[in-house]
Structure 1
């Protein structure tokens, strides 16, 4: 970083993980490194990371499913931490304030999508842990206008998954057009799905979970699912809405076939394997709808965090020491994580 200095009173360097060589997790695409502590620009905050949840999007970036936008990026976009410093002229929360740094990092605010409240579709949008270094590090910077204030009384590990798994799940729930008291199918039951299911149940829905993981089916029952089954099983009743969380295109026709007339399927992931040929009469006729989900707006994030403060979903986490970020991603790839994997960054020295 040349002659740029870290803010006064802070270390000059930090521990971090970077995506060094995108590829399958058994090729060790992540590398543990020492980096300069970043310096916040005007309008930005420097955040000292307490914990960072591990998202499937991080896995897609590490394995190359999501093309890297810059070399050796620090992944991670579900970071909970405290403001360490403010960039020049920045109006924001004072140092020591707990904040959350999420996936959406910036938008232009001027395009037709931003002007109509659809900033998630902004062509100039940027993303934490993809366009800029993220939370697999002791410190990160983020625009002050895009961070979320977080409660002091809650544990950091339980808050982190809310920042992407929760927010994106909520966006997917909106896109699925679930009617009041409706029947919702959920395909795949990881970090995002287990939070979304609880919000739907709390709002009066009957939730049917289809997943290949026996442990995930057990968790779904504990969280109030009306039924559970294998990933290709038929639910016990036609669905008003469904959300596909698993990045498996083969499940799209399965979920569409489970919809009642007028039902909607929302695909929640940023990456999906190829969708096989659909049969119009079986999968789409009778006004069934197939929708994608693209990022989220800040309004989505604020609304979800409000709902979470009311309904207080149980956040199931599997903690990992910061030094084992690569193992967390390997476990996520192999479906060995219950709920959400969370890196305990703390001082960055690998302690839980």
Structure 2
């Protein structure tokens, strides 16, 4: 049984038809097509998409660095929209959503709920986890079906295009910041300054930390300084002083030893990407000795999501959005690949 205003039988959107390098509009791995749309199951909601953030993970999926787990997969996992239908169990055991509510659909789509990781608050490590825009069709479309238990209730006030990046760029950055073990008032180094980094820098500053940014591109460095960073240099520049912690957002493995060498004694480097190029050999004395720590970041838990969204509601980060019509997702990905996006790209329903 489904409670609904209207369940369309079809929706339109982008699919990864043939993974490969992104190109200009009309060429590349994405194809716009119409596909059937199933009614939501008992624990699911049907969401009409208002906006969807463009994440570098989408680029990895389109270009084949990540292999799609469903045929002709629709990317997109920073989805803001309106609930148009709810399954029979929604509103009770599966989540508190009603038709008309504003919902956020994020990267973590499902977990098993019964493994040792799920039972110990580490559902992000669940071996049977499923992800929006990888295992399930995502938000580069008119509609998306999501598990209500993994969706987020969103406030009515902020524009959809400003909320969308919080659902991955913000949440993943939050988890990376937590795993970096930054001491109070410490100096955080951020390597790469795209969507997630520009939100994470603001979260760290709001907590009283100092921030140093290392990134290519003058526009990204200018934005970092505008947002409050005390230093903005090139990716390979030395820090103004040893870093208490660092986060690597750029998917560039050769920056791992650079960031480790910049750490003070006892510092931690958190690597936030889902994909990373090869890491060069490390020198133990230079990169790891004196109790330096190297950590990866894998997805997030729902608790991370709720905590970050609550924190963002209090601190109100400035989300620097470059808008694209939904029909121009291929253009947005090409711009992201060419480093033509400062801040975050967001697809907006037409």
Partner of residue 169 from structure 2, selected from 165, 183, 193:
165
Q: Deviations over 1:111-148 (max 9, x none)?
A: 00111100000001100000000000110111111011
Q: Distance between the aligned counterparts of 2:8 and 2:146, measured in 1?
A: 18
Structure 1 residue ranges without an equivalent (≥5): 346-350
> 1:158-237 maps to which residues of 2 (within 5 A)?
158-237=162-241
Deviation at 1:90, TM superposition (A): 2.5
The aligned residue for residue 348 of structure 1 is none
Partner of residue 328 from structure 2, selected from 314, 324, 335:
324
SS in 1 for 2:285: helix
Partner of residue 6 from structure 2, selected from 9, 12, 23:
9
Q: Deviations over 1:5-40 (max 9, x none)?
A: 996634332220000001111360000001123321
> 1:270-281 maps to which residues of 2 (within 5 A)?
270-281=274-285
The aligned residue for residue 147 of structure 1 is 151
Q: Deviations over 1:17-71 (max 9, x none)?
A: 0000011113600000011233211100000110000000000000000122121
Q: Distance between the aligned counterparts of 1:7 and 1:150, measured in 2?
A: 20
Calculate the TM-score normalised by the size of structure 2: 0.96
The answer on whether the counterparts of 1:38 and 1:46 sit within 8 Å (CA) in structure 2 is: no
The aligned residue for residue 292 of structure 1 is 296
The answer on whether the counterparts of 1:38 and 1:139 sit within 8 Å (CA) in structure 2 is: no
Q: CA RMSD in A?
A: 1.3
SS in 2 for 1:25: coil
The answer on whether the counterparts of 1:76 and 1:134 sit within 8 Å (CA) in structure 2 is: yes
Deviation at 1:306, TM superposition (A): 0.7
Aligned residues: 342
Structure 2 residue ranges without an equivalent (≥5): none
Q: Deviations over 1:95-123 (max 9, x none)?
A: 11001000000111110011110000000
The answer on whether the counterparts of 2:3 and 2:88 sit within 8 Å (CA) in structure 1 is: no
**1:343 counterpart = 2:343:** no
The aligned residue for residue 19 of structure 1 is 16
**1:59 counterpart = 2:59:** yes
Q: Distance between the aligned counterparts of 2:59 and 2:348, measured in 1?
A: 18
The aligned residue for residue 36 of structure 2 is 36
Partner of residue 303 from structure 1, selected from 303, 307, 311:
307
The aligned residue for residue 156 of structure 1 is 160
The answer on whether the counterparts of 1:6 and 1:38 sit within 8 Å (CA) in structure 2 is: no
Deviation at 1:79, TM superposition (A): 0.2
Q: Distance between the aligned counterparts of 1:11 and 1:225, measured in 2?
A: 47
Q: Distance between the aligned counterparts of 1:197 and 1:8, measured in 2?
A: 41
The answer on whether the counterparts of 1:319 and 1:342 sit within 8 Å (CA) in structure 2 is: yes
The answer on whether the counterparts of 1:47 and 1:83 sit within 8 Å (CA) in structure 2 is: yes
Q: Distance between the aligned counterparts of 2:128 and 2:222, measured in 1?
A: 42
Partner of residue 268 from structure 2, selected from 260, 264, 267:
264
Calculate the TM-score normalised by the size of structure 1: 0.95
The answer on whether the counterparts of 2:7 and 2:39 sit within 8 Å (CA) in structure 1 is: no
The answer on whether the counterparts of 2:4 and 2:86 sit within 8 Å (CA) in structure 1 is: no
The answer on whether the counterparts of 1:6 and 1:39 sit within 8 Å (CA) in structure 2 is: no
Most deviating of 83-92 and 228-237: 83-92
